[in-house]
Amino acid sequence: MTTQTLKAREDLEGTIKGSILVPDDPAYEETRQVWNAMIDRRPAVIVQCAQAEDVPPVIRFARQNGLELSIRGAGHNIAGNALCDNGVTIDFSRMRKVRVDGAKRRAYVEPGATLADLDEATQAHGLATAVGINSTTGIAGLTLGGGFGWLTRKYGMTIDNLVSVDMVTAEGRKIRANENENKDLFWAIRGGGGNFGVVTQFEFKLVPLGPEIVAGLIVFPFSQAKQVLTKYREFVTSAPEELNVWVVLRKAPPLPFLPENVHGNEVVVLPIFYCGATAEAEKLIAPLRVFGEVLGEHIDVQPYVGWQKAFDASLTPGARNYWKSHNFTELADGALNSMIDFAGKLPSPHCEILIGLVAGAANRIAPNAMAYPHRDAKFVLNVHGRWDEAKEDQKCIGWAREFFNASAPYASAGAYVNFMTADEGDRVAAAYGSNYERLAAIKRRYDPENVFHLNQNIKP
């Protein structure tokens, strides 16, 4: 045992309710895994908090011992900042409770909760809030960076539905931030990531939804990609906000509704989500079928919580991942051409190019209303490099970077912190645009020593 681990046991045991894991503990190895298998960090101490009150002593312990501090929600962030080397990791995997007040339409969420935890609890009341599309993602990281998914067109980003947070500051002080209390801090954490303190509870407003919605996939041949994408671009300009259609360019997985001879070939997939009146769905979705020759489709009335898990099987933890991303206000021909060009040379069967449609409610918020500024973004592109073996690193990372550069001339300025890798620190200022200076000033007030620097860091 190192001095730090011995000291951690001495200082924290008996003070906190949670558990302390050090490298000798049997559970340590499993606990230090995160979603992206490229991350291999070894904290000296992992504290699995059991209650909000456990957080201040852990922050104090790290600071008094000059140790780095990282915060882990559900460990999905590809940059891997949930973990640190030789420091202290606050791990919230034991704090996943979600309490719903159906009458007030509010959810109170612990910081280790996943989207599945939130969706299941809220849907039990016929309610929901706008989150991401992969149910194992953490609410904490997703919300603090912005958060978008199927409901974003209609109800905005996750931060647009955040009502308040309970936090612990770098000094170990417990505070609440909302539109009335600590307003600056509330402004900053809505997009500013984990830069300002440790959130111990999120409060969201909820809207009635489902429990059934209409959703599914339509698949077209890659040879018709240009025509499908051009029609898609036109279609989404007038589609109602209850309807969301994304685009995925990838090799076809062996989906049961696709003919076997299509499996493994490049295809264009349109994932479709509709949360309006079920009777209206067919009329709205029908025009998508004439974008090209349909290779297969599976669209159904289904539980919202089921659709929220629809992509989990292709986004399992344990693969190597390298992502790049751009925002777009429009999909210019050049952008479509570069997508088609790079989808034609996917370096692994798991790599994909994804266009998420976010146009709608999120665009009706002023860019300076909160830290996240990209209110002009209509589409978010995710260049999703994903593969299994370390020997493929160079090839797959190279593909993602090359495509990122080729599509850059058509993108709007800015970046989404939640999709940034560890090597994109130079994009942090662009991620916050004209809000950066105000964020830095708030950082100086709440965390002048940059205790919370394992994130897309805003320098005090």
Site of interaction with ligand FAD (CB under 6 A) = 35, 71-78, 81-82, 92, 111, 132-134, 137-138, 140-142, 144-149, 193-194, 198-199, 315, 418, 454-455
Taking CB atoms, the residue at the shortest distance from ligand FAD is: 141
Instruction: Give min distance, CB of 108 to ligand FAD, in A.
Output: 14
Cβ nearer to ligand FAD, comparing 194 with 347: 194
Residue by residue, what is the 3-state secondary structure of the chain? CCHHHHHHHHHHECCECCEEECCCCCCHHHHCCCCCCCCCCCCCEEEECCCHHHHHHHHHHHHHCCCCEEEECCCCCCCCCCCCCCCEEEECCCCCCEEEECCCCEEEECCCCEHHHHHHHHHCCCEECCCCCCCCCEHHHHHHHCCCCCCHHHHCCHHHHEEEEEEECCCCCEEEEECCCCHHHHHHHCCCHHHCCEEEEEEEECEECCCEEEEEEEEEEHHHHHHHHHHHHHHHHHCCCCEEECEEEEECCCCCCCCHHHCCCEEEEEEEEECCCHHHHHHHHHHHHHHCCCCEEEEEEEEHHHHCCCCHHHCCCCCEEEEEEEEECCCCHHHHHHHHHHHCCCCCCCCEEEEEECCCHHHHCCCCCCCCCCCCCCEEEEEEEEECCHHHHHHHHHHHHHHHHHHHHHCECCCCHHHCCCCCHHHHHHHHHHHHHHHHHHHHHHCCCCCCCCCCCCCC
Cβ nearer to ligand FAD, comparing 406 with 440: 440
Instruction: Give min distance, CB of 117 to ligand FAD, in A.
Output: 12
Cβ nearer to ligand FAD, comparing 123 with 418: 418
Cβ nearer to ligand FAD, comparing 285 with 362: 362
Instruction: Give min distance, CB of 380 to ligand FAD, in A.
Output: 8
Cβ nearer to ligand FAD, comparing 120 with 280: 120
Cβ nearer to ligand FAD, comparing 81 with 123: 81
Instruction: Give min distance, CB of 71 to ligand FAD, in A.
Output: 4
Instruction: Give min distance, CB of 95 to ligand FAD, in A.
Output: 9
Instruction: Give min distance, CB of 186 to ligand FAD, in A.
Output: 14
